[in-house]
Amino acid sequence: MSELAIIQKTETSPEIRYVQPAEIVIVGYDDIVKAIGADLARYFPDGIDKHISEEDISKLSRDDIKVLKNMRTSLNKKKTSIDQKRKDVKNAILEPVKPFEIEMNALRDTYVDAAKVLGDVVERAESIQKAELRQRLVDHWEGSSIIAFGISFEAIEDPKWLNASFGEKKATAAIDERIAQIAGDFEAIEEMANADDIRAVYVRTLNLSESIAEVKRRMEEAARAAAIQAERNAIIAEREAQQAAEKPAEPVPAPQPAQAEQPMPHEHSGFTLRFEGLVSDLDKFKVEFKALAEKRNITVIQKEKCTCQK
């Protein structure tokens, strides 16, 4: 016998005895209706249903509007008085119902709590059974050759396989059918061009037509990109060749004669030469002195200071 003892008993509904409340009668109802009609007639002499035209409304003065507001306030007060009387009578009648509802809800909740306990047990038991069934289905899948391609059970799993109404036998048959279909797809892939690319996509999608279409799309995109790049490279090469043809050849610089090494002036051999005279005479002197300096191998450091006056 199971450790969980299930005791089933016939439910008994509580016997409820109550006294039918007396009929609620509004004394003088017809007279009250007539009185309300007469009261409204003072506000609407021509009847409440009569349409009030926009022309009549536009003729109302501020005092007329104030009177109408007071009339509306009076009507609302009378409406509130009647509505409050209705609520008072209803609350008085329903007062005994409050403890009755509390007691009946307490009786009902006893069954609610018990049903919840059993519901939790059923839910847990079904969860354990589903987990055990799923593991058996996983073992069946992993025992096939398809697992060599790296396809997990989660990739082909159908949640309805774990339902009690579906059944383990039917779920196992569905897995076998899936294995046969995938194996057939792999055989077909081996006969195709770009088999490696299609196989890589198929392992992810498990849809042969989608895998073929995706590889084809990739190849077309790669071909378009290569064509665009080739055209771009050709344009660049053509432009560079044109620029090279239009560019003039750079002249080869003529060799420069070697210059004699100039001796460094001694720090104590310098002297200052001061010239006073006309600017035209100064230019002539500079030429003659430069020639003399070159002849005597003298390094000249020229400093000019003009103190000429106009």
pTM (2 d.p.): 0.47
Q: Which two tokens stand for residue 141?
A: 């899948």
Which residue's entry shows tokens 């310098």? 270
> Range with the lowest mean pLDDT among 84-88, 162-166, 293-297, 305-309?
305-309
Question: Residue 244: is it exposed, middle or buried by C-beta count within 10 angstroms (0-12/13-18/19+)?
Answer: exposed
Phi, psi of 302 (to 5 degrees): -95, 125
What is the C-alpha radius of gyration for the chain, rounded to an integer number of angstroms? 57
Percentage of residues of the chain with pLDDT beyond 90: 38
290 CB-near residues (< 8 Å, 6+ apart): 300
With bands split at pLDDT 50, 70 and 90, how would you rate the model's confidence at 159? very high
- Above 90 in pLDDT, residue 141? yes
Please report the pLDDT score of residue 226 as a whole number: 93
Q: Which residues of 122-143 are buried (b: 16+ CB within 10 A; e: fewer)?
A: eeeeeeeeeeebbeebeebbee
Question: Once rounded to an integer, what is the mean pLDDT over residues 11-15?
Answer: 58
Please report the pLDDT score of residue 31 as a whole number: 84
> Range with the lowest mean pLDDT among 129-133, 177-181, 240-244, 250-254?
250-254
- Above 50 in pLDDT, residue 139? yes
- Above 90 in pLDDT, residue 157? yes
Helix (H) or strand (E) holding 239: helix 208-246
CA distance 189 to 215: 12
Percentage of residues of the chain with pLDDT beyond 70: 75
- Above 50 in pLDDT, residue 53? yes
CA distance 205 to 183: 14
Q: Is the dihedral of CA 134, 140, 143, 148 positive or negative?
A: negative
- Above 80 in pLDDT, residue 5? no
With bands split at pLDDT 50, 70 and 90, how would you rate the model's confidence at 233? very high
Long-range contacts of 55-61 (CB under 8 A, 24+ apart): none
- Above 80 in pLDDT, residue 251? no
